[in-house]
Amino acid sequence: MITAILFDMDGVLIDSEAYISAAAIEYFASIGTHTTPEDFIPFVGAGENRYIGKVAEKYGIQIEIEQAKLDTYDIYERLIMGKEGALPGVVRFLENAHEAGLLMAVATSADKRKMEINLAAMGLDPTWFKVLINGKDVERKKPFPDIYELAAGKLGLSAGQCIVFEDATNGVRAAKAAGSLCGALTTSFTDVQLRAEGADFIISTLDDFDDFSTIEEFNRLLLRFKAREVASQVRLNAYSPYSRFQVGAAVVSASTGTIYRGCNVENSSYGATICAERGAMMQAVAAEGDFRIDMVVVVSDDDPPAPPCALCLQVLAEFATEDTVVYLYDLQGTCRVHAFDELLPYPFIFPSERERRRS
């Protein structure tokens, strides 16, 4: 179970990438060198030594890196203060995490000076975070795992007990190398880029999270996001030459938390077509035998998000319980939530199996 959260800062808690890029461009202009935002993209999340130093190397200019950073931070503070606050949902998410008893730490590759500017710009209380780690606390910066291993250790935990929220490809690589679960935000890089580095699930901002008040509720939200990611990716494998309607599904085991996947597989003989939900159920039963469903997640390119067909609902009913929940997503992340019994209130269950279904 995840009991702690490690936050990258820039692009996760505050949308600062455009400001630090502008500050660095202004700094280089002050020493007579023209740079562009694209020059800095490869070094996002890797700390300002590389962010500024590598661009200086590209243009063949000599700088004193510590002074260059101080000058850039002065410009950055002027640009961001009063113009940028916390990203949508950040304060609500932090309040929920604090109430739930989750330990929280900031682990940013930025120097302490920039970290303090960001906290001030967001108006966040630093005491909410049990640990504040900045780039000067580790020798090896992201994509090495050191910063997340250090943050977890200072919380008295292993990295595997923590989730990392990151927005940068270097940061995702660092989180996964540390052995942490990683939720990636699409504030700086695309979902494709973040997924390629191993992100466990993708969100737009922390505002995607529903409210939660316990560690158990938080972990259930994480499980739902992981299941959505599984369904979204398996959907791309759907064989649908006739309908051109691709669907991905994930069913989650109530006993093990394992996520099983399926996509729709059409056939020239229409009756032989297998829907995504039934495909996922076949995998689940093959793995666990007598199976109980915790949740079903379905992803489709439909508005509103498509529910399982009647035949799939009947198949699912054999393994659903009174607590089974169905989450229906479209490709934009819009979600509809239903208790299973809302979608099929009166399934046919063989008389001898009715009590078993409710157990």
Q: Which residues contact 9 (CB under 8 A, 6 or more apart)?
A: 16, 106, 108, 110, 115, 118
Q: Which domains does the chain have, with CATH numbers?
A: 1-213 (3.40.50.1000), 233-358 (3.40.140.10)
pLDDT per residue as tens digits for the range 54-80: 898 898 889 998 898 889 899 989 998
Is a pLDDT exceeding 70 seen at residue 358? no
SS (H, E, C) the chain: CCCEEEECCECCCECCHHHHHHHHHHHHHHCCCCCCHHHHHHHCCCCHHHHHHHHHHHCCCCCCHHHHHHHHHHHHHHHHCCCCCECCCHHHHHHHHHHHCCEEEEECCCCHHHHHHHHHHHCCCHHHCCEEECHHHCCCCCCCCHHHHHHHHHCCCCHHHEEEEECCHHHHHHHHHHCCEEEEECCCCCHHHHHHCCCCEEECCHHHCCCCCCHHHHHHHHHHHHHHHHHHHHHCCCECCCCCCCEEEEEEECCCCCEEEEECECCCCHHHCECHHHHHHHHHHHHHCCCCEEEEEEEECCCCCCCCCHHHHHHHHCCCCCCCEEEEECCCCCEEEEEHHHHCCCCCCCHHHHHHHHC
Residue in 10, 39, 71, 167 annotated catalytic:
10
Question: What pLDDT, on a 0 to 100 scale, did the predictor assign at position 42?
Answer: 87
Looking at residues 157-183, what average pLDDT do you find? Answer: 97
Question: What pLDDT, on a 0 to 100 scale, did the predictor assign at position 83?
Answer: 77
**Res. 357 pLDDT band, cuts 50 70 90:** low
**Res. 284 pLDDT band, cuts 50 70 90:** very high
Question: Any idea which of 66-80, 170-184, 217-231 has the lowest mean pLDDT?
Answer: 66-80
**Res. 45 pLDDT band, cuts 50 70 90:** low
Question: What pLDDT, on a 0 to 100 scale, did the predictor assign at position 356?
Answer: 67
Residue 37's nearest CA partner among 12, 62, 20 is: 20
For residues 279 and 273, what is the distance between their CA atoms, to the nearest angstrom? Answer: 10
Question: What pLDDT, on a 0 to 100 scale, did the predictor assign at position 81?
Answer: 87
Residue in 8, 15, 39, 71 annotated catalytic:
8
Is a pLDDT exceeding 90 seen at residue 343? yes
pLDDT per residue as tens digits for the range 299-342: 999 999 999 999 999 999 999 999 999 999 999 989 999 999 99
For residues 231 and 283, what is the distance between their CA atoms, to the nearest angstrom? Answer: 13
pTM: 0.87
Asked if 8 is an active-site residue, the reply is yes
Looking at residues 69-96, what average pLDDT do you find? Answer: 90
Average pLDDT, the chain: 93
Question: What pLDDT, on a 0 to 100 scale, did the predictor assign at position 15?
Answer: 85
Asked if 10 is an active-site residue, the reply is yes
